[in-house]
Amino acid sequence: MKKIQGFILIFFAAAFLFCGSAHAQRGYEDFANEENLRIMYRWQRASIFDRNSDAVLNLRVTNENPSVVVWTYSVVFYKTGMKVYESETYELCLQEGQSRRGGLAGLRFTVEDLKLEDVEKDTFDWDFGIFDVEAVEECP
């Protein structure tokens, strides 16, 4: 009986983790498809447990090119048309068909004291300051 209970517990835990992971992927919204890079984004709190934590922009990029590419980019935040933040310039190498997302890939951006309520206002916007895609033979 304990083996069956253990199996059921493991099954439900795995189902919960899978559903959470699948939901997280759906949380991304399409931004653009430039130079055969599909860009998606989502806003979230820096800490899911702190309702007052700063807003964080997470990007997801998928290489839809028929070759390996190096993407050079920077992200810019605007309030009422004025630039309030520009990230440093990053490079990301992507294999054909490869997707990358979030902080480990350098695709997570935040500004101190920027809240989710701020990014939902019509006076806030974001875009890429630099967006360059170069086909390469292989990733460096």
**Which CATH number covers residue 35?**
2.60.40
pLDDT in tens, 25-70: 458 999 999 999 999 999 999 998 998 899 999 999 999 999 999 9
Q: How many distinct structural domains can be found in the chain?
A: 1
**Closest by alpha carbon to 136, among 94, 106, 85?**
94
Q: Is the overall model pTM greater than 0.95, yes or no?
A: no
**Under 8 Å between Cβ of 57 and 101:** no
Rounded CA separation 88/86 (Å): 7
Q: Which domain holds residue 116?
A: 30-136
Q: Report yes or no on 13 lying in a domain.
A: no
Q: Report yes or no on 117 lying in a domain.
A: yes
The average pLDDT across 88-98 equals 97
pLDDT of 6 reads 56
Q: Report yes or no on 1 lying in a domain.
A: no
Give percent above pLDDT 90 in the chain.
74
